[in-house]
Amino acid sequence: MHLHPNIKYAVIFLLVVIAFGIAGQGDYEEAVSEQDIYCEFVELWERTNGRDGHPDWRRIYERLVSLTNEDIEDFIIALRAAEAMAERWREDVAILTDFRVVKLKENDEPPLEIIRYDV
């Protein structure tokens, strides 16, 4: 059975879109999980007077607990951009709380996330 070339390309395009959608959902879930764990450990630190968990060493707890789904999506976009910029600049970068990406060595604000350049 032979398919018209346009149908074949449409099917391939649809499969690629579905694959990216699945990968994007995984990135979203991973980012949400990472931030949830960070917040849980900060809350545990506060509840146990520093015996368990960890302090808000990134100084972003208040920002994280107020994130909306749209903010999380913006964070994922910033994360992907930061990974690409670290590769392009060949150095570590920081994602700031307003989702800007800057070179880590030039940053003077507490970062939301640090992306290390892997040689």
Instruction: Compute φ and ψ for 113, nearest 5 degrees.
Output: -155, 150
Task: Look at phi and psi of residue 100 and say left if phi exceeds 0, alpha if psi is from -120 to 50, else beta.
Answer: beta
* Tens of pLDDT, residues 23-58: 555 665 776 677 788 888 989 999 999 999 999 887
For the full predicted model, state whether its pTM sits above 0.75. Answer: no
Quick one: DSSP state of residue 101? E
* Tens of pLDDT, residues 68-95: 778 878 887 888 899 899 999 999 999 9
